Amino acid sequence: MIYHFYPIDRPMIWGAEQWILSAYPGRDSICVETGQNIWRMLCEQKEQLVGKHVFARYGDTFPLLIKFIDARDDLSVQERQMLFTCMARSASSVRKTTR
């Protein structure tokens, strides 16, 4: 089944972020179809929601935060470096877990 989640808008110094999928405490995404937050869905559906390998590795901790960044101006070097570092670490994790 495909689920849809309400986005979480977060104003930031550089513009805005919109969290598309989050299990961050206090900022859990709410499912449009069920009205439940992502953590509750994970506790109930377990590997049916995220797959056996992901559930075996992370358990009831949802391992993703998906967000869009809408910057009013160009991001500073530090902010871009942080984004690139996060992307590189994410890509590295994906490569390691798909062997």
pLDDT tens for 37-96 read 998 998 899 989 889 998 899 888 887 888 888 877 776 655 556 666 666 665 555 444
Q: Nearest 5 degrees, angle CA 7-CA 13-CA 16?
A: 20
Q: Indicate whether 10 pLDDT > 80.
A: yes
Which amino acid is located at 90 in the chain?
S
- Integer Cα distance of 64 and 28 in angstroms: 11
- Integer Cα distance of 20 and 44 in angstroms: 21
For residue 59, give both structure tokens: 């358990």
CA-closest candidate to residue 54, choices 3, 89, 83, 94: 94
First-to-last CA distance in the chain?
Answer: 26
